[in-house]
Amino acid sequence: MAVAARPIPRAQQHAQEHDDPREHLMHDPKPRGEMNAMVLESMHTAGWRFYAATGVLMLLVLTCFFYAWYYMIANGLGVAGVNRPVFWGIFLVNTVFWIGISHAGTFISAILRVMKIEGRRPFTRAAELMTTFGLVQAGASIFMHMGRVWLAYWLFPFPNERGLWPNFHSPLMWDFLAINTYLLCSTMYLFLPLLPDIAMVRDHTTGWRKVPYRILSLGFRGTEGEWKNLQTAMNIFAFAIIPVMFSVHTIVSWDFAMAMRPGWSSSVFGPYFVVGALHSGMAAVAIVLFMIRSTMKHMTYFIRPEHFNLIGKLMLIVSMTWAYFYFNDYLVPWYGGDKWEKLLQEFTEKGPLWYLWYIMLIANIAVPWLILWNRKWRSTPWLLATVGVIINIGMWIERYVIIPEGLTINRMPFTWRLYVPAVEIFLTIGTISLFMLLYMLASRLIPIIPVWEVQEGQAAHMLRKVGKAQVSTVSDIE
């Protein structure tokens, strides 16, 4: 017996069914010359708001970063809030936070490239800039926490008269190796795909401004040999920097896991911190992309709701993974009965700073899980950026809970004491301002969109007729 088919009511049709393919960047190609002109114009346009924001940031950097740090070096760490037993405070929180932010850049420009996720094309450079500038802040925060920072060069292994070397048994020296490797390699990885775009800017600039671009472009022209070398180097970097990224935050987590402190010596810290880094990093990418799209000219062509959708999906997945690791780290001491770890959990949840724990859980789990499941909400730039801000606040608090709160409770109850931050607050504002300032300067000095990669993607995408539908296909020309 034939089954009569009935048409689906229009209201129930899938939202994607009648998408205009030109909504997607890869199916909306423009001539390269036009895209170049758009990017150049966005670089050269700076309204009064840009100058006002840059001025404010410069002021904040001068006072809250340079002067506050000078004051602390001159007067000693006593002007900060650290004491016994909380020997590490917000400086280490900031270090971990900024390294976390920097991981998102590598995730997008390396992992998404290796996995050939085409949606990454317009914002790999914006993400890589976050990596470089985030690592600058992390490095600054590490130097800030040192008691005799003017002797920091002793951590560098160099032959000297006394024959002394640094101690590679120490997780801090592993940090030194890993963070320096990551900083150098991600800066090189930022530069490689930037080279053809710098050559483009060189070709379109005249006068004294051309000189730095000519020098930086190294004489790149785009010959077959140069492209082959560049792509080979980029492939090596893309594959190699992924394990480095995982190792860096694992090693940072080992600063805490190697210590004999309740709540710190947990074997799950390695992957837990890596996922936490991705969590705050992806959220920061959403914020940065929103800022770029709303403040820079022509960016609405390059950065579209589909990209926020991609980042939103990644944010949701990472948030779930973070919740999984946090639950692991929580359940084991809750169940296991080590009296010091139970005391620490009690202090975290019911002590004077109980509200931080609740804010952390709401911001890192509840907010993303409630909002990011919806495709329309994910694709709304301002909403995703707001969720990004909330997640970053939650992840900063998570590190605060681990570091200063974790140090307050130890096995010598006579020494328990709360941590009251002082000059660290100014220095935190200083590092955030410096990050934003560096980013704003970079946005006007180098093209923030990798135009050649966008065009490469557009050339590889086409619409194919399958049945009655126009289907997007990507050709894999390697």
Chain residues 256-295 in contact with other proteins, contact rule CB under 8 A? 258-261
Question: Measured from the CB atom, is 305 or 406 closer to other proteins?
Answer: 406
- Give bridge partners of residue 471 from the DSSP assignment: 464
* 411 lies in the binding site for other proteins (CB under 8 A): yes
Task: Give the whole-angstrom CA distance, residue 408 versus residue 92.
Answer: 15
Q: Which of 26, 61, 251, 395 binds other proteins (CB under 8 A)?
A: 251
* 478 lies in the binding site for other proteins (CB under 8 A): yes
* Chain-centre distance for alpha carbon 392: 10
Residue 457 CB, nearest approach to other proteins (Å): 10
* 412 lies in the binding site for other proteins (CB under 8 A): yes
The interface with other proteins within residues 145-174 (CB under 8 A) comprises 145-149, 151-152, 154-155, 157, 163-174
Q: Which of 54, 455, 470, 472 binds other proteins (CB under 8 A)?
A: 455
Name the segment binding other proteins (CB under 8 A); options: 329-337, 385-393, 439-447, 448-456. 448-456
CB-based contacts of 76, cutoff 8 Å, min separation 6: 147
* 407 lies in the binding site for other proteins (CB under 8 A): yes
Task: Give the whole-angstrom CA distance, residue 438 versus residue 136.
Answer: 10
Residue 132 CB, nearest approach to other proteins (Å): 14
Task: Give the whole-angstrom CA distance, residue 47 versus residue 380.
Answer: 25
Query: Do 458 and 29 form a contact (C-beta atoms < 8 A)?
Result: yes
Q: Quote the tokens at residue 228.
A: 């082959």
Q: Which of 19, 46, 53, 83 binds other proteins (CB under 8 A)?
A: 83
Q: Which of 217, 309, 348, 433 binds other proteins (CB under 8 A)?
A: 217
Nearest to 133 by CA among 385, 449, 443, 450: 443
Please report where in the chains the tokens 């801090």 appear, as a residue. 172
Task: Give the whole-angstrom CA distance, residue 114 versus residue 406.
Answer: 38
Question: Measured from the CB atom, is 380 or 410 closer to other proteins?
Answer: 410
* 202 lies in the binding site for other proteins (CB under 8 A): yes
Q: How many residues bind other proteins (CB under 8 A)?
A: 100
* 17 lies in the binding site for other proteins (CB under 8 A): no
Q: Is the dihedral of CA 182, 188, 190, 193 positive or negative?
A: negative
Task: Give the whole-angstrom CA distance, residue 18 versus residue 147.
Answer: 63
* 52 lies in the binding site for other proteins (CB under 8 A): no
Residue 463 CB, nearest approach to other proteins (Å): 18
Task: Give the whole-angstrom CA distance, residue 131 versus residue 134.
Answer: 5
* 188 lies in the binding site for other proteins (CB under 8 A): yes
* 473 lies in the binding site for other proteins (CB under 8 A): no
Task: Give the whole-angstrom CA distance, residue 459 versus residue 231.
Answer: 17
* 118 lies in the binding site for other proteins (CB under 8 A): no
* 463 lies in the binding site for other proteins (CB under 8 A): no
Name the segment binding other proteins (CB under 8 A); options: 9-17, 238-246, 328-336, 426-434. 238-246
Nearest to 365 by CA among 389, 345, 391, 330: 391
